[in-house]
Structure 1
Amino acid sequence: MNETGDQEEVFAFLAQEGLHEDDAPVKRIDTHGAAVFLHGRHVYKVKRAVLYSFMDMSTLDKRHRICEAEIAVNRVNAPDLYLGVVPIIRRAFGGAADERQSMKGRLALGKDGQGAADVAPDEVVEWAVHMRRFDEDATLDRLAERGALPADITRRLAEMVVRAHAAAPLVEDPVASVGELARYIRRNAEGVGACPDIVSIDRVLALKEASLSAHARQRDLLIARAQQRFVRRCHGDMHLRNIVLIDSKPVLFDAIEFDESIASIDLLYDLAFLLMDLWARDLRAVANGVFNRYLWARNCDEDIDGLAAMPLFLSLRAGVRAMVTASGLKHFTAEHLPRARDEVRSYVELAEEFIAPPPPRLIAIGGLSGTGKSTLSRTLAASIPGGVGAVHLPSDIIRKNIAGVAETQRLPPESYTPEMSARVYAKLRALAGLALQAGQSVIVDSVHARADEREALEAVAREAGVPFAGVWLEAPLETLESRVTARVGDASDADARVVRRQADYDYGDVTWHRLETAGGPDDVARVAKRLLGL
């Protein structure tokens, strides 16, 4: 990394109180790419005059263009936060007094939206992004550190990503993104390799070779996805530090703006940054829940196919964090430097873990409505080794997807005919087969009342050449009736009448592990994990 300019005068100017009427104390935040100044309700973000292997902001003109790009790309997801680009101007001595000039009388803020044509070129010292300030303690990384994430953050985050991807525009040359991934692998190795006292060169080279090998294996898949419009102009930097909770809604900000190629990526690669960050923070249930809710909401078989690239995507994202942290070590204070060095090591370890996932397996969770199939499946899915856990396929969600209705919208009786149920089970098996072929472990969550349904699912595992295990949940009829009656906002339409009707079914010979669930979900999960060898 090279420093290409002295910006201390600008930073000192923006660090002064009194730039705005509220005269509030100024807070400064430094990152590897910017210096950010918080003034009351206002934020001014100045790009650092730096030249990294992945970021060139070495000239004033480049920083101006990058500031303009930041406004444009972030207004897609956070239109209320990004106000405009302002010039920082040098004024001559002896001019009229300006209440927003520095105490030296030399620098002043321009106006939002002023471009290079609106001010004399020799007057502009720097450009800054002007933002509306939000509560910086409400970013999701800080909420996570305090254990203060909302209870329903999994659903909210999945909905946020789905909205962002629906709004993401197509790019001119999507196939170019495939070659770019190999460049990122090499760039990550170069950045981390510059710190051999933190991570050995042998480990860096081994991770690089494993990643390039995975890229070569998935190249045809990645090209096909690019041609099928799965490559878009995405956020590109979707981790918890770049998401803030505003009015109980997660809002994406600080998208990649300095290089279009870095943000012109596969949708799953964009998602992978969020999943990796959650996993790295040990928020594994949230990571797995976002992963599965994204798949359910998009209702897209091609996303299942694309999961073969997920080990590469997740590993690359961890490698990016290792590289960026390593590149910015000089900006950490002595107090925070040891933690930053530890972060580099932990991200490399995570990248190594992701790039070499264990073989997949198929698990079935069956039983009557109300036995706790979905609750157990969600817990188990986050506990399955490999990636960010297992693909969770609940029949209730698949049935709603086939009907084209929202998860919590109640279906009419004709959606529960034997013919429709056969269609749902066929879809479950097809999706499970695709996910297993992609190297993903799978949990199928459905009643599976008939012996032929259970046998057909076991056959999916045999055809894929993976281990199979089935767990059959049981509870007293009164408990089941009580549970389904108490449900609110659930995907299942089952009520007490359905439970009583199911109780009269002839289940045949159930050979799966039998598990009583009248106790609490934690006890059930503990026993199930033991049965499954987790």
Structure 2
Amino acid sequence: MTRREILSLAEKIGAKKICETHTSWVLLTGRFAYKIKKPVNFGFLDYTSQKKRRRFCLEELRLNRRLSPEIYLDVLGITQDQRFVPKDSPQAIDYAVKMKELPQESLMSSILKKGKVLPSSVKEIARIIADFHNRVRQTKRTERYGSLKIVRFNWEENFSQTKDFIGKTISLSRYQMIKENINRFLSEKKDLFEQRIREKRIKFCHGDLHSGNIFLTDDKPDGKARKVYIFDCIEFNPRFACSDTASEVAFFLMDLEFHNRTDLADYFLDTYLQLTKDFTLLSLLTFYKCYRAYVRGKVSSFKMVEEGIEEKEKADAFKLARRYFLRSERYARSLFGAKKVFIFFGPPGSGKTFLAERFRKRKEGILLATDVLRKDLLSIPVEKHLPAEFGKGIYRKEITRRTYLTMIKRAQVYYAQKVNVLLDGTFANPDYRRLVKRALGSNNLIWIFCWAPKRMILERLKRERKYSDAHPEIYLRMAKRFQSLKDLGKVIRLNTRLKPEDNLRRLELESKGER
């Protein structure tokens, strides 16, 4: 269809808005959205013939119904005089995917920018994706896309296609470092890719799993949680849609980390791992995060040189591309080196959670926190506050014991996949300190004791914090338990009254054995 015909169709159906991308038009009526493919060919995508557009509309409907059948309604035909008819009508000269329209302000990417995505929504996304990955099967058709040959080809294509942007959106040193580390990883870790194929983890996935393709609406019957709709999967090229499930998970995690929400990324990952039991995924996660960040940097770079794009859009694309390539470099630097278990502990209000989360943003791995696990094990929304007296409510002895045993067990399993693990808890009870040493080995542990003057801690505990429900009484009851830490050997002690950057810098140095 031509732009003129699109405008005519939009007028006839009462469309209130037309959204346009380089591959499609989407007509929004307020109730329904109609997506019409442009007759374009980009090599990796070919919609040039009527037959192909019909086929890919039907594929888009079929594939997206795997995750969001409620919003993908039908494929309609479009006549010469711009009317909708059934898809099999001989009058149809083009086609549209008919969808339920959802409010744009419900896009997860928009809610993320406002800082209002809740852990309960992320947990639901993890549940949906875990169920999806558990249901979809690896086939002879899909398994080749997890092979070292295809993975290497995808990277070589990326490097080739971004050469023209060296010195613009990516520096030569960054380009070379990423390329060298990726090639080294592909050479040294061939067995990991083969193992994933043997484990049947190469599947026809969503292919484009990020916050811009997820709606979080408020239409759940109980009104307590947002309804999740995951949409717009890739239908046009199996090389982009078929992949290791680790690559799909990595894309979503990278996106959350890009939005500065490593806490949500870690909660998603921990939930997903427990639902799928796919623990070997961890060994390739940083590699695929690096890949996904690089691709986003490449796509943003392409947008910068598109014809007809406004200067502001070019400037925004330039900034985005540089940020994505910087993130890709960070992942590439984390592919090698010894991994450790970093234990942030101390009394409530000591600042351990704040420092653990800040350190996690610098350190690839996964952070497990007792404040999160405790509620999760009790099926309580993590964001819900439930203050209780010392040793009562959700802080009863048996619940605390279950929380620490679960955290230590998960840390043991995750660390076995050679990733950094960060733990955040008081560890006031020496028994739990002994358990973690026995499970993970003293040589692999870095103990970080966080403390602050009593007056400062009591002031902090008067304010509501993200997930913790501790209050001054709990601190006063627990403080004496930290008077002796001789059972731990070397401990890095951080006074959280000092600037966070100073503490993090010191932690980086001391955890490497430097002073």
TM-score (norm 1): 0.74
**Offset at residue 313 of structure 1 (A):** 0.5
Partner of 1:171: 137
Q: Residue 398 of structure 2 is aligned with which of 393, 403, 415?
A: 415
Alpha-carbon distance in 2 for matches of 1:497, 1:278: 35
Encode CA deviations 1:243-270: one digit per residue, 9 max, x unaligned.
2342255532211122344223333311
Secondary structure of 2:8's partner? Answer: coil
Encode CA deviations 1:134-171: one digit per residue, 9 max, x unaligned.
33354344455xx4241x44552343233233134323
Secondary structure of 1:443's partner? Answer: strand
Alpha-carbon distance in 2 for matches of 1:422, 1:251: 34
Q: Assess, with a 3 A threshold, how the Cα gap between structure 1 residues 153 and 20 changes in structure 2: closer, same or farther.
A: farther
Partner of 1:99: none
Secondary structure of 1:244's partner? Answer: strand
Secondary structure of 2:291's partner? Answer: helix
Partner of 1:82: 72
Alpha-carbon distance in 2 for matches of 1:14, 1:187: 35
Match status 1:263 vs 2:238: no
Partner of 2:289: 314
Encode CA deviations 1:401-451: one digit per residue, 9 max, x unaligned.
7x6855669669573587x6884575265246336x23x3x3222233356
Secondary structure of 1:257's partner? Answer: coil
Encode CA deviations 1:344-401: one digit per residue, 9 max, x unaligned.
454334333322227444422222345454344334322x244xxx421224555677
Q: Assess, with a 3 A threshold, how the Cα gap between structure 1 residues 515 and 190 changes in structure 2: closer, same or farther.
A: closer
Partner of 1:68: 58
Q: Assess, with a 3 A threshold, how the Cα gap between structure 1 residues 50 and 405 changes in structure 2: closer, same or farther.
A: same
Secondary structure of 1:130's partner? Answer: strand
Alpha-carbon distance in 2 for matches of 1:30, 1:487: 43
Alpha-carbon distance in 2 for matches of 1:202, 1:394: 37
Partner of 2:416: 434
Contact 2:293–2:324 under 8 Å retained in 1: yes
Task: Spell out the pairing of 1:197-276 with structure 2 (5 A cutoff).
Answer: 198=168, 207-208=178-179, 210-247=181-218, 248-276=226-254
Contact 1:325–1:343 under 8 Å retained in 2: yes
**Offset at residue 62 of structure 1 (A):** 2.0
Q: Residue 331 of structure 2 is aligned with which of 340, 343, 354?
A: 354
Q: How many residues align?
A: 478
**Offset at residue 316 of structure 1 (A):** 1.0
Encode CA deviations 1:45-97: one digit per residue, 9 max, x unaligned.
2223333343233332222121112122223333333232122222xxxxxxx
Task: Supply the AA of the counterpart residue of 2:359.
Answer: L
Task: Supply the AA of the counterpart residue of 1:333.
Answer: I
Encode CA deviations 1:297-343: one digit per residue, 9 max, x unaligned.
23539555432212221121122223434555435524334543554
Q: Residue 306 of structure 2 is aligned with which of 316, 320, 330?
A: 330
Alpha-carbon distance in 2 for matches of 1:327, 1:274: 21
Contact 1:189–1:323 under 8 Å retained in 2: no
Alpha-carbon distance in 1 for matches of 2:197, 2:302: 30
Alpha-carbon distance in 1 for matches of 2:173, 2:499: 44
* % identical aligned pairs: 21
Contact 1:161–1:271 under 8 Å retained in 2: no
Alpha-carbon distance in 1 for matches of 2:250, 2:482: 44
Q: Residue 392 of structure 1 is aligned with which of 346, 361, 367?
A: 367
Secondary structure of 1:364's partner? Answer: strand
Which range moves more in the overlay, 169-178 or 497-506? 497-506
Q: Residue 148 of structure 1 is aligned with which of 114, 131, 151?
A: 114
Partner of 2:266: 292
Task: Supply the AA of the counterpart residue of 1:182.
Answer: R
**Offset at residue 237 of structure 1 (A):** 0.7
Q: Assess, with a 3 A threshold, how the Cα gap between structure 1 residues 443 and 412 changes in structure 2: closer, same or farther.
A: closer
Task: Supply the AA of the counterpart residue of 2:18.
Answer: K
Alpha-carbon distance in 2 for matches of 1:259, 1:353: 29
Contact 1:155–1:290 under 8 Å retained in 2: no
Bigger Cα Rg: 1
Alpha-carbon distance in 2 for matches of 1:64, 1:250: 28
Secondary structure of 1:15's partner? Answer: helix
Structure 2: segments with no counterpart, 5+ residues: 219-225, 387-392, 510-515
Q: Assess, with a 3 A threshold, how the Cα gap between structure 1 residues 49 and 345 changes in structure 2: closer, same or farther.
A: farther
Alpha-carbon distance in 2 for matches of 1:143, 1:482: 28
Contact 1:139–1:245 under 8 Å retained in 2: yes
Encode CA deviations 1:181-204: one digit per residue, 9 max, x unaligned.
223212323332465685688975
Alpha-carbon distance in 2 for matches of 1:353, 1:482: 33
Q: Assess, with a 3 A threshold, how the Cα gap between structure 1 residues 59 and 212 changes in structure 2: closer, same or farther.
A: farther
Contact 1:15–1:26 under 8 Å retained in 2: no
Secondary structure of 2:44's partner? Answer: coil
Q: Assess, with a 3 A threshold, how the Cα gap between structure 1 residues 166 and 532 changes in structure 2: closer, same or farther.
A: same
Partner of 2:425: 446
Encode CA deviations 1:34-55: one digit per residue, 9 max, x unaligned.
2333344433222233333432
Alpha-carbon distance in 1 for matches of 2:252, 2:270: 17
Q: Assess, with a 3 A threshold, how the Cα gap between structure 1 residues 235 and 498 changes in structure 2: closer, same or farther.
A: same
Match status 1:131 vs 2:99: yes
Contact 2:138–2:204 under 8 Å retained in 1: no
